[in-house]
Chain A
Amino acid sequence: MPGASAQILRNAWAGPGAPTVDRFRPLLIAAVLALAAASLFFGARSAAAGTGAPGSTAAGFAIEEGLPLSGLRSDDPDERIEAVESIALSGHALAGRVLRAIEDERLVWLEERGWMLLAEGGAAVPPPGAQTVGVNNRVRAALENAQAFLALGDSDVQRRREAASTLEGIEAVRYLEALTAAWQRESDSVVRQALLLAVAKLRLQSPEASLRLEAVRALALAESSAVRRQLQDLLGLDSTGFREPDPQVREAARVALAAMDARLRKFEWIAAAFSGLSLGSVLLLAALGLAITYGLMGVINMAHGEFLMIGAYSTYLVQQLFRRFAGDWIDWYVLAAVPLAFLASALLGIVLERTVLRWLYGRPLETLLSTWGVSLLLIQSCRLLFGAQNVEVENPSWLSGSMALAGDIVIPYNRMAILAFALVVLLGVYTVLQQTRAGLFVRAVTQNRAMASCTGIPTDRVDTLTFGFGCGIAGLGGVALSQLGNVGPDLGQQYIVDSFMVVVLGGVGQLAGTAIAALGLGSVSKILEPFTGAVLAKIMVLLFIIAFIQRRPQGLFALKGRSADA
């Protein structure tokens, strides 16, 4: 049986699973580390010497034969791609593992040993002199298709569906026969549909016009831009005339393109509306804290942005803590960061109010200067603590990726979550201010401080707590911002102008105004951007606000209050 010899795996130096390897792993690692240190020390000399003792360098398989691996060593990416496809089509039991290993740079070539498969999980250090397979974008795409092709044999329907949707972009005709066979034996309708598209896409390259015509008609149902591109290519010209010689096929392609575009247009509108709302929700989260500290209390808080930054850095710290102590729960660090960010910013806000701001009530210019100073102080101390570079805050897996509406029109999960989070925070702030006793005090002090004081409200403490609350909300905004952009010392500076813009436009002292202004500004910028470009859109929004404030200095909504009186 040829398969038997093909599947010979020589357990060359303790393959994974061999009991000896675990016992000796510490020794192995020590040996490898010592070798690595030595090679650093002696430079190139040790590289030649180190290969002499491969037995002590790494855990891995040597693959003897049966797999068409030789092309992988070629300098020509075309040959490497061909080899990858041959591996997938070989039906060899190891094909899947080998393909995965190529992608992770675990398949290495050693002059004296041949091909070697290193153990998974990055535990194995490649022995000196090991050459990995050169992977560039084209090879990576071929690998992806090859792995998807192998996954079609999986018993899990979900995995087959994913694989089939990857294969919609396939271009290598070699798969045609095997894919057609897979399509014929497939039972799941979703997989069948996707495979049909893949087969149709490959048949476009067929020399027979009737097959091409059939393929084009099938492709009219596809939504991906890769397919659209290919259909468009058929209508293009090259040196000999139309790229597609048959007029019937061209006509069918034209019809298919029109049908595709009509379907996508509707979803484009949804995506555009969503991006407006999403930008609005970011603005809302950035500005909501300010709506309380500036809007309700009248404190021109130039350090507002830095409270956003503190919220974002709290998220970063929580992420680091989870990474170190609770790796299994890392996906949920964002949830843990929410209360912590609130507390950290609120505490700092309270300290700021107690030590600086309470002496400056009623003196807006001094407040502005001192909070600006505080903001510089916070930025620079952050630089000293965490460095001037941005820190990395990773989206947890449930916030990565996106929901596909149709074809390539997608809505990212993190933006959806932030929109929802903004609404929850808005609702929370509204409830606290309107439905609780503390909120009643805040409103009373805002509207008439003297009268509130007469009725026994501790206005001093209310001021402190309100400011702390506003800063805490800013901290929550920081958590959300950390999921979208930079987390660095300058994070706050990017949002301070936008925040004031939103609060002023919405009407100082009005939550509803802030919410509507934020969502409105977001939508307007997103509507303008495709026509004018981002730079001009920003300028037009600013001009619009200037014009609007000229006509209506009190903003969208106006309320009588401490700030309105002043």
Chain B
Amino acid sequence: MKRRSFLTSSAVALSCSSISTAFSQSREAIKVGILHSLSGTMAISETALKETALMTIEQINAKGGVMGRPLEAVVVDPASNWPLFAERARQLISQDKVAAVFGCWTSVSRKSVLPVFKELNHLLFYPVQYEGEELEKNVFYTGAAPNQQAIPATEYLMSKDGGAAKRFFLLGTDYVYPRTTNKILRAFLKSKGVKESDIEEIYTPFGHSDYQTIVANVKKYSAGGKTCVISTINGDSNVPFYKELGNAGLKAKDVPVVAFSVGEEELRGVDTKPLVGHLAAWNYFMSLKNPENDAFIKLYRDYARAKKLPNADKVVTNDPMEATYIGIHMWKQAVEQVKTTEIEKVIDAVGGQKFKAPCGFEVSMDKTNHHLHKPVFIGEVRADGQFNVVWKTKGPLRAQPWSPFIPGNESRQKA
């Protein structure tokens, strides 16, 4: 009796979790899949990407859709559960017959859906900065590869303006992205003549919340020479880390911390006044001033208000949101170019697409390596939780998914 009711209720719950939203009844809609966690630990970051995707689709529909057909978003919730990502991806492709999928955040979720996309020969747009070491025909990477984020940031810290750091404290959450990034950075630093003893590498478990010892160690380490912290801490742990940093009085002018996974959204949960001057490296900041970005921010604000999102008057935009926005638009352009949603043809057409992005540059999708050419910005945290750009590249950089700093990659770089 009990068991049966449990089964029925879970069946109901499962069928509810895939909600399709039809925007228009006119001409047959094109379905696109949105694969972001709306519950579980990653909901904090991925919910905003789902909203961005829906907003972009609404915007495209308002302008007449794709080839005159409206887009229809199929939203599923993989619930921060990596195997479930693969299951949901399969469902989107085989059952809902979507034309493309936009989704994933963590590298482990991407790795979990890859076999599905390869097997069914389908199309995924991945919008988050990641560790590289991957190149799939079925995936377009609209986030940064290490040479578009980690390497320039480290170079900046070594420069006079970045504080001329001599010692490096690499601090990360214990999983594939921080470990690979730090491996690349270590090789890079060695190539710049930094001694092994001047590099410290520390990892914490997911969800770690007590940073007392680590912050004390950073302080101690900094007594031995000008130190900077390169943080690949991911997700929820950032708030306790920055709170501890602020309270321990570790100021950015003494020991700057540069983070690769902290953006406007993450700083919303923190009192940023003690953090002024700490750094983040991204390919987009909300504080950038250009017409595309103004329009993008306004679009999202209006959307948040219209949809009555929680804290709608205080929503912020960030780098992965911009990457999602670019991804959907590039897919639209490609489909309109080849006049079909056929996967093979669209994949060929996405490479080489250009788009005037909110970062203020015209970014283009590389024909051969499926990564975006992106500009790099380094920003200092301001008291209001936004970033003040202190360094940027002159223009978009081509991605190097196979880092030259990892041995064995030489042969792959040509790809």
Contacts and interface: CB of A to CB of B under 8 A. Distances in A.
A395 B243 contact: yes
A315 interface: no
Given A226-B254, A380-B39, A395 B204 contact: no
B277 interface: yes
Interface stretch (A21-29, A323-331, A384-392, A427-435): A384-392
A531 B52 CA distance: 44
Contact of A401 (B208, B249, B380): B249
Interface in A454-508: 484-490, 493-494
Interface string B237-273: 0011001101111001110100000000100111100
A347 B297 CA distance: 41
Contacts of A141: 253
B265 A389 contact: yes
B193 interface: no
A276 to B, nearest CB: 9
A413 interface: yes
A240 interface: no
Contact of A390 (B225, B239, B291): B239
Nearest to B221: A225
B222 A225 contact: yes
B212 A410 contact: no
Interface stretch (A89-97, A182-190, A243-251, A532-540): A532-540
Contact of B246 (A400, A485, A526): A400
Contacts of A386: 310-311
Contacts, number: 176
B205 A538 contact: yes
Contact of B247 (A138, A395, A404): A395
Interface stretch (B23-31, B40-48, B96-104, B109-117): B40-48
B170 to A, nearest CB: 12
B203 A275 contact: no
Contacts of A410: 248-249
Contacts of A229: 222-226
B47 A389 contact: yes
Contacts of A169: 254
Contacts of A401: 247, 249
Interface string A270-309: 0110010011001000000000000000000000000000
Interface in A226-245: 226, 228-229, 232-233
A392 B270 contact: yes
Contacts of B209: 484-486, 494
B106 interface: no
Interface residues of A, number: 67
Contact of A392 (B204, B240, B268): B268
B385 to A, nearest CB: 9
A169 to B, nearest CB: 8
A19 interface: no
Interface in A119-141: 134-138, 140-141
Nearest to B311: A387
A490 B277 CA distance: 29
B271 A43 contact: no
Contacts of B291: 43-44
A486 B202 CA distance: 21
B224 A402 contact: no
Contact of B161 (A44, A77, A538): A77
A335 to B, nearest CB: 18
A534 B243 contact: no
Contacts of A400: 246-247, 271, 274
B204 A535 contact: yes
Interface in A412-460: 412-415
A383 B77 CA distance: 14
A534 B256 CA distance: 22
B163 A138 contact: yes
Interface in B198-220: 202-205, 207-210, 212-214, 216-217, 219-220
Given A415-B212, A484-B243, A391 B269 contact: yes
B269 A390 contact: yes
Interface residues of B, number: 63
A162 B48 CA distance: 43
A282 B38 CA distance: 29
A177 interface: no
A408 B254 CA distance: 11
A502 to B, nearest CB: 14
B236 interface: yes
A264 to B, nearest CB: 9
A137 B163 contact: yes
Contacts of A391: 268-269
A38 interface: no
A394 interface: yes
A85 interface: no
B208 A488 contact: no
B410 interface: no
Contacts of A380: 39
Contacts of A535: 174, 203-205
Given A228-B223, A390-B236, A488-B44, A137 B253 contact: yes
Contacts of A413: 247
A135 B388 contact: yes
Interface in B34-77: 38-41, 43-44, 47-48
Contact of A533 (B202, B207, B246): B202
Nearest to B213: A529
B39 to A, nearest CB: 7
A216 B276 CA distance: 32
16 contacts: A77-B160, A137-B256, A137-B380, A138-B161, A225-B220, A268-B220, A388-B44, A395-B243, A400-B271, A404-B249, A485-B239, A488-B269, A494-B236, A533-B202, A533-B203, A534-B214
Interface of A: 40, 43-44, 77, 134-138, 140-141, 144, 169, 225-226, 228-229, 232-233, 268, 271-272, 275, 278-279, 282, 379-380, 383, 385-392, 394-395, 400-402, 404, 408-410, 412-415, 484-490, 493-494, 525-526, 529-530, 533-535, 538
List of 5 A-B pairs having minimum Cβ-Cβ separation, nearest first? A387-B310, A390-B269, A412-B247, A485-B240, A275-B212
Given A409-B216, A409-B219, 11 more contacts: A77-B161, A271-B216, A392-B269, A401-B247, A401-B249, A486-B209, A486-B269, A488-B269, A490-B236, A493-B41, A494-B207
